Amino acid sequence: MEDAYARSASEVLEFFGVDPSKGLTDVQVAEHARLYGRNVLPQEQSTPFWKLVLKQFDDLLVKILIASAVVSFLLALVDGETGLSAFVEPSVILMILAANAAVGVITETNAEKALEELRAYQADVATVLRNGCFSILPATDIVPGDIVEVCVGCKIPADMRMVEMLSDHLRVDQAILTGESCSVEKELGSTIATNAVYQDKTNILFSGTVVVSGRARAVVVGVGSNTAMGSIRDSMLRTEDEVTPLKKKLDEFGTFLAKVIAGICVLVWIVNIGHFRDPAHGGFLRGAIHYFKIAVALAVAAIPEGLPAVVTTCLALGTKRMARLNAIVRSLPSVETLGCTTVICSDKTGTLTTNMMSVSKICVLHSVNHGPVSAQYSVSGTTYAPEGFVFDNTGIQLEIPAQYPCLLHIAMCSALCNESVIQYNPEKRNYEKIGESTEVALRVLAEKIGLPGFDSMPSALNMLSKHERASYCNHYWENQFKKISILEFSRDRKMMSVLCSRKQMEIMFSKGAPESILSRCTTILCNDDGSTVPLTAAIRAELESRFHSLAGKETLRCLALALKRMPMGQQALSYDDEKDLTFIGLVGMLDPPREEVKNAIQSCMTAGIRVIVVTGDNKTTAESLCKKIGTFDHLEDSAGYSYTASEFEELPAVQKTVALQQMALFTRVEPSHKRMLVEALQHQNEVVAMTGDGVNDAPALKKADIGIAMGSGTAVAKSASDMVLADDNFATIIAAVAEGRAIYNNTKQFIRYMISSNIGEVVCIFVAAVLGIPETLMPVQLLWVNLVTDGLPATAIGFNKQDSDVMKAKPRKVNEAVVTGWLFFRYMVIGAYVGLATIAGFIWWFIYSDTGPKLPYSELMNFDSCSTRETAYPCSVFSDRHPSTVSMTVLVVVEMFNALNNLSENQSLFVIPPWSNLWLVASIGLTILLHMLILYVQPLAVIFSVTPLSWSEWRVVLYLSFPVIIIDEILKFFSRNSCGLRWFPLRYRRDLLPKREERDK
């Protein structure tokens, strides 16, 4: 029943055909169970393991590699190869792909637990009226139409419409659903609000929320998926995981690269059609197959097989660094996403604030000797921990607050006129509440004021264990006074009273709304001497002025405290006793902002990141918080920057767009609004981070580009998020953003390194094919270079130091290409040199090496006709492993020098020397060691078709390799001096890699 909140209780009861005094009959229960289903959240089927595995291979470059492996194997069989040689290359390719797929499957199987965690918020049992009798039933057996009774501490088992109040009032904590910092008072009347949000439905008890005060009966109107909790589940199911900006750019690069590879492979094959009939191949078909093998080798050379592994490794390194900053990353790609975040949508309660009501101001009458002079005290401490001090209006700390009469009686009243509990949880290492937040705040205040009569009181309390300290002072007053009678809070009186007895003296303590308490007071307690004086019109005006200041300007939730001496022997209270009270004082409390939040907000603004505060609280309270934390510092007026959910929804489409571009505060929201805000911002090409801690935040956390949950938040929020803040510190996000930006910069560096290396390999094979010289590098050698000798330095580049000004730059655009025009030209130049140097090493061995055959160049170009003519050298020389070993070694060493070029994009090696990244130096050393291992250890040398090199050959390798540093230093010089690039057209061209928008047309 979707509109139960707008109907009267009798209409709802009539709709379900239920008698509120007897409940449903067994026949009705069976019928309603058939019509509406069970009261459980349906379990989602997990993705089959085989589908997860197949998903990892759904990538164009991966498919090309698989095709290369299959073709390589088939060609080996066609050529008559058997044994190990036929399987080496395809086996290596498939092993690489299996390793990458394993990482992907593990990540995905661990990622999604939020829907399962959501079930933890369902009630286990409920007190249900059926067949005229109450019984405790499993919550899963409840059906719409059931009459359920709830009381303090009950978890609501389903969405229910109030039908009868069994106490003066009923208050429910629905923060997990709406994010409201205070409990909500429920009522029986129907709601007439249009477009009512959860906060407006004051006659509905929502599934999963908790009763903190009172007792009532309600009729079930929604179960399972048809509850507020069920709508959160459905919203999460509709949310698909967003592809991260880096993944988008890498996918675009992969598509671009695949097209280039296909074009070059076809070109190489076509260029060599004239050689298909060469006698060395033994026929046209075999010639075609031979050059097809070269084309496959070219594909293997062009694809950076190690790129996924290196990206994963770099992101994993980033997560370790972020863990040290208390940011626990649950999804690797989100590390990089942080770097381009443009908007942070921050939940207010529990994220920007502590989600713990705390007394911050106390106002009492100091003296009447020179007119009514009030005194105002401030109280430090923002949590439920009994840690904090009381300061006077000059900022001086009170050594023993309890020696002041008004403060002493405030502590008594706070401890006695109170039904909440505060306790220490050793597992979570924090203090927890049971009951109403405002009452818990008063208990904590009593602890901060302390006890009278002990000069060493503050230090003595500190010697207690945390468990004893939690309520030590409260227990003291509860032992001193015996509670006799209680008058519960009611909406018409707006106050609560308790009758206490101590040493044959009866005292009534009262607390409530200031206007209610003041109207019942005739005297007031003075703080200077403890005297009681008449409450004159002047004193009343002074107190009312103080109250309006605290409640209006400072938006504090105010309570007034009072007491009254009662006749000796009185055993009960009546409403008539609540008059002629003695006013003690006012207390102002709030859900305080975290101390570090203001500086974090300023850091966001400096970094070009906009913060939008999103909350279920009312507009005035939220605007007051925004002023305290600096969100409105740059604004003269909040108009146009602060909206309630209903105000925003009523805006025309054009104004909505403008509002989204400047919004700083979004109030009175429910879960669907948070998700809607994230989607709307994403449609404006914003990269959105969403923070939250409640069940209500889960759909938005899942939908956002990066969801950030609080460590103390609900399990549902954590499971739906990409990152968890272990310290609940909003400022940690800023440190994580800086780390994300640094990771992206390093990612760009090693991607460029791998691109230039692969361009070199392509140039090598392409030029060799065009020149008609023997095969320079074998596919298995290319795989070794791509995975091992490229992979280790590329990973080490991820350790490049963070730039000092990383948080002073604006966020990069989502569509910014990883490789731009000028950089692509730079790495084409470097790649071309790498390829030509590799071929040069190959040709050098045949023509100039003392250990080589010293052939004329023309003989090398006509190697395929060697068997058909007389030569002065044996044809077996073209099968020698020396030339390919020299070329492979040149390729490895030149790439090691090129790795040093990538310590910085534009800075010279003289400015950022190699030892600035010792990991890179070590990886280069290890790579050279591994390469020498395959050269000089016989079984490995056979697998990779290489042979040991002499010192003279090594010397030539170094001569051919080192110039890559000189070339890149020249290119870096031009990059630093942009005036020197004005003639270069690529400088002004758009990014060479295809844009997503263009591709989607």
Tokens of 852: 């080589």
| Sequence-separated contacts (24+) of 955-962 with Cβ below 8 Å | 956/841, 956/844, 956/849, 956/886, 957/841, 957/886, 957/889, 957/890, 957/893, 958/893, 960/837, 960/840, 960/841, 960/844, 960/890, 960/894, 961/837, 961/890, 961/893, 961/894, 961/896, 961/897, 962/897
**Residues 6+ away with beta carbon under 8 Å from 770:** 268, 271
CA nearest 523: which of 409, 417, 422? 409
Greatest alpha-carbon span in the chain: 132
How far is residue 301's CA from residue 299's CA, in Å, rounded to a whole number?
5
Q: Catalytic residue among 347, 693, 697, 722, which? A: 347
What stretches of 145-186 adopt beta strand conformation (E)? 147-151, 159-173, 184-186
Task: Please report how the helices 597-606 and 730-771 are oriented relative to each other, as an axis angle in degrees rounded to 10.
Answer: 30
Report the distance separating Cα 897 and Cα 902, nearest Å: 9
278 has catalytic annotation: no
Q: How far apart are CA 250 and CA 818, in angstroms?
A: 8
Tokens at 560, concatenated? 């007034």
For 864, residues 6+ apart whose C-beta sits below 8 A from its C-beta are 275, 278, 279, 280, 281, 772
CB-based contacts of 962, cutoff 8 Å, min separation 6 = 897
Contact 220, 158 (CB under 8 A): yes
**Shortest CA distance to 375 belongs to which of 518, 495, 525?**
525
Structure tokens at 130: 């059926």
Residue spans of beta strands (DSSP E) within 333-456: 343-347, 358-367, 373-379, 390-391, 421-425, 430-434
Task: Report the C-alpha gap between 447 and 387 in whole angstroms.
Answer: 8
Which alpha helices (H) appear in 329-436, and where do they start and end?
Answer: 333-337, 405-416
Question: Cβ distance 301 to 778 under 8 Å?
Answer: no
Strands 581-590 and 557-566, how do they pair? antiparallel
The C-alpha angle 124, 127, 130, rounded to 5 degrees, equals 120
CB neighbours (10 Å) of residue 893?
24
Contacts of residue 622, Cβ cutoff 8 Å, sequence gap at least 6: 348, 613, 615, 642, 665, 667
Q: Nearest Cα to 331, choosing from 350, 347, 312?
A: 312
Alpha-helix residue ranges (DSSP H) falling in 417-536: 437-449, 457-462, 466-469, 472-480, 514-520
Q: Report, in angstroms and rounded to the nearest whole number, the Rg of the chain calculated over CA atoms.
A: 38
Q: What is the DSSP letter of 545?
A: H
Alpha-helical regions (H) of 810-872: 821-847, 857-861
Contacts of 110 (CB under 8 A, 6+ apart): none
CA atoms in the 13 A half-sphere facing the CB of 63 = 11
- Hey, which residues are catalytic here? 347
